[in-house]
Structure 1
Amino acid sequence: MAISSSLPPIRACLFDMDGLLIDSEDLYTICTNEVLREYGRPDLPWSIKAQLQGRPRPEAQRIFHAWAQLPLTPTEFDDKQSQLQRKYFPRIYLALATSSHTGNFHLKTAHLSSLFSIFAPLHRVLGDDPRIAPGRGKPAPDIYLLALETINASLREKGERELRPDECLVFEDSVPGVEAGRRAGMQVIWCPHPELLEEYRGREKDVLAGLTGEHKGDEGVGCAEVSEGKIKSGQPGNVDDGWARLLETLENFPYETYGIKIL
């Protein structure tokens, strides 16, 4: 898909973490399937997993447990899964931030501190950040707008020009995450897991426009912005508007397309 020539050069890149910089999605599936098999349940299908990706923990738990129907409370399931995550997650050797809450973020990145050090703590917005109102996780735009505000706060201190949302490039693997980026008024790269891409085969353009209907609230409020300290929700994009692009890998990334100069 061609990128609109009218879009400004990128001045900031905002990254999701799970499934994008860290190959955690397959490990999550391994852990989940071990528990499901213990109780004679089928493996987690991508039709369900696609609904869990990128969502805040409480909403993802609700969707999963409604499907799984395990004889476990959510807390008991979490305890079992946490034990398995401690077994599998230390195998991750890739290089940031998103809906993961603080505990999981540290669990998944503690052994990658040298890589994640490029993201200053000030510019890490996690899923349990108190500045994000309950129920305002992805696909709402708040987490990306807040990430941008952390950058702009630093620029204001230096007396430098602040960044506009359209000067930001969001890197996402999940469908709700793409919609969050679009509703934030930002340009987006969608780099999904191959099986997630297969799940949305034929609907790629709707995903890139943020038109999959993931976000249910605040429709028609207008373009997303942070105004007077309050985060407002925005509208998605339009099909083929050039603001988002599907890449199956970030290898050989087309920096020049986005006006990004590599020194």
Structure 2
Amino acid sequence: MSTDPWQLLDDAGKVLVVHAHPDDESLSTGALLASLTAAGAHVELVTATRGEEGEIVPGAIAEDEDRPLELIREAEIDAATARLGLAARHVLGTPPALAPGAAPRTYRDSGMQWIREGLAGPSASAGSDSFTHRPLEEATEDLIALLEHVRPDVVIGYDDEGTYGHPDHVRAHHVTAAACARAGTVMLEVSSAPEPAASAGFHRRDHPGTAEAVRAAVDSYRTQLTVLGTDAEGIRIRHVGGQDDLVALRTGLRVRA
């Protein structure tokens, strides 16, 4: 098997990408996914949680809105994935991303709190149905069921740092790695570092021509962020917590050994 992740992607006809929450697909891999679909690849997405614990940008939801946040975020992710050109999206624990014979199950957003500098953990209110607290084996079996349904040539997931260490991202990494190992499917890991190190096995690629699609996808998440503008580096955003960030138009990937 090639150790060049981009060669594997270039040769792939069908790709599955695994993320933790609505908006992660656009923030972490938007340019990558837009470039893949523009090149004709069949790309499907599975999201572990519905983002129930997300904060809300003030004024983003009308005062007379009676839908719960997870339904509002479902509409946001539908809009974002359409902008990126994805062929289908799934929710872990819901068919076809459900182990045979199992009753449908919900992996609730775990929320996040900083345990100490540089180490994140689930929020204190995370219950037994949260993604980080439900048995790892359940989520792994559900993802294997989806792999058998989709039969992707490659799977794209987080590296072991889970972007910024969100516990749901880290959990998604472990679930994806376990499911791919058992199913015999190639896993490609997205670098958490903005400038991935070749010494760690990462190979970087720019995604020219994707800015418009990525900006539209990111802008779908009005409850979570505000788009500030676009420049040569990517899409400038401000998160609900006030942190400014860049949605880059490049990706570092490596093949999971």
Higher normalized strand content (fraction of residues): 2
TM-score (norm 2): 0.33
TM-score (norm 1): 0.33
Higher normalized helix content (fraction of residues): 1
